Each structure stands twice: as C-alpha cells, then as structure tokens.
Amino acid sequence: MKRIALFLGTNIAVLVVLGIVLNVLGVDSLLQENNVDLDLQALLIFSAVFGMGGSFISLAMSKWSAKHMTGAQVIEQPRNSTQEWLLATVKRQADQAGIAMPEVAIYDSPDINAFATGMSRNNALVAVTTGLINNMKMDEAEAVLGHEVSHVANGDMVTLALVQGVVNTFVIFFSRVVGHVVDRVVFKTERGYGPAYFITSIVAQIVFGILASAIVMYFSRLREFRADKGGADLAGREKMIAALKRLQAVHEPSQLPDQMVAFGINGGLAEGMRKLFMSHPPLSERIAALQANS
C-alpha cells in the first residue's frame, strides 16, 4: 500500500541526508583509532543511534508526509453522505479494535487504493482514494477500511520502523567497515581517510540498503496477511474476500509501471527475484489464506 512507499521513501531520504552530512562534517573520522583500526563497539553504537534515529524520524513524519505527498484532505466536517459514512465506519471499527479514532482523509486518484499511517495506534491517519469511493461497493469499501484500521491496531508502522531501524543500523555499520578496509588495504591510506573510504562507504550503503529492503518487505508481507484477518474480523470475512477479489479483477489484468507498483493496494505483480521486494503478497495468496480460515 501507499503507506509502505511513503514510509520507505521518507526513511531512505533521511538516511541518505544523514550519511552525507556526517561525511561532510567529518564525523566518521571520530570512529578511527590510532589511524589504523576501527573501534567496532563505538561504530556499532554510532550506527544504532543514526540507524534507529532515521527510522523513527520517518515514522514521526509519516502523517505529515502522507498528507503532503498525496494531497489528502482530512474530513473535519462531513460534506455529504459518503463522508459521513466513512467517518462513522472508521469510528465503529476503531472502537471495536480498541484504538482512538484516526483522522480520515480522501485524496484524488482514479486508482482504487487506501493507506494507514501514523506514529502510534492512537495518533493515526486512514486515507482512501476517490477511485475507491467511486468504484467499490459499500461492503467492499468497509472491508478495506477494516484492513487499514487493523494495520493501525496491530501497530504495524511501529513494527516496520523497528525492523527498518535494525537493518539501517547494520547497513551503516557494514558499509563503513567495507569503506575502511578498502581505504586501508586496497589504497594503503595511512593517515585519516582518503576519497576511497567516502566513495566506497556510500556505494556499499546503497547496495546493502537495497538488500536490506528485502528483509523489510518480508515483514511487510506478513503484516498484510494479519491485516486481512483483522479486516475480516471487523467487517466480515466474505466482505474482505470480495474486496480482495475486486482488487484482483481491477489490478491484475493490467501491469502497473514499475515506479508505481509499490503504491498499489495489492503491491503489484513480480516474478523471480523481484518477488523478494514486494511489499504485499499476491492477492491470490491473500484470498486463499482467508478462505482457508473459514
């Protein structure tokens, strides 16, 4: 869903900016000891502070980022019966799930889509597209809202922030170890850090970051199955299955462009190694999982 793309995009941007700032300011040189060896314990602490920090800055910014990147308009006072129904449905489901009422927003897009984001279970945003409102039956839309409310109730954004923070930590740690080894062993730099360290560590951070994203996507796929079950509990299993089948009928016959796949509610389609980087399981697997729980 869009929440994954928004979170990862903000997180990557924060991490890249932090890395560039640290290199420009020369903070990395503080991790060097006796001009030869790295203090690995200090490096790990440093990596954890900035790795986890970047992830939770992204989480704290998630609602603001979502509103500004999608143009979502929060419903303050409902202006028609559809908006009244959206607010009433989310309120009822939030009460059932035991969370505070999330903000409810609509953003203009022909795509059938929805997302939930926010810093905590009691400070969240649920947004839907105009395409979803115009093209889904009420029962199907109710199930989609239940799926999103379940993401909030399950604390999925915090869980992903923790997972992302851990992988960020090791990406920063190992990229600097690689940069140090290349600088010392290959280029024989004896004092301080040469250009090879900065270039290699940045390249390694990008490569390790791509590999680490597969780990985050694995956990994201697991959370989708759980949110489907939550949506079934809140709205009804048949309604949840019907909503997924509607998405399957709308999305699967036409391939979304690569740059848009992560924004689709079904996570798009992929083959081979690309499956490792899908934020959502295939809709067929999600439908089968719900049917198996009958």
Name every residue whose Cβ is closer than 8 Å to that of residue 63 and which is 6 or more positions away in sequence.
103, 117, 118, 119, 123, 124, 125
Place of tokens 């093209």: 135
Phi, psi of 106, deg, nearest 5: -125, 135
- Look at residues 128, 126, 46, 136 and name the one whose alpha carbon lies nearest to residue 90: 126
CA distances from 76 to 86, 104, 171, 233 (A): 12, 8, 42, 28
- CB count in 10 Å sphere of residue 29: 12
Pseudo-torsion of CA 125, 5, 147, 84, nearest 10°? 40
Catalytic residue among 148, 224, 238, 252: 148
Question: Do the strands 114-120 and 73-74 form a parallel or antiparallel pair, or are they unpaired?
Answer: unpaired
148 is annotated as an active-site residue: yes
Beta strands in the chain (DSSP E): 32-33, 37-38, 73-74, 103-107, 114-120, 123-129
Handedness of CA 93, 97, 99, 105 (dihedral sign): negative
Q: How far apart are CA 113 and CA 261, in angstroms?
A: 12
Q: Enumerate the active-site residues.
A: 148
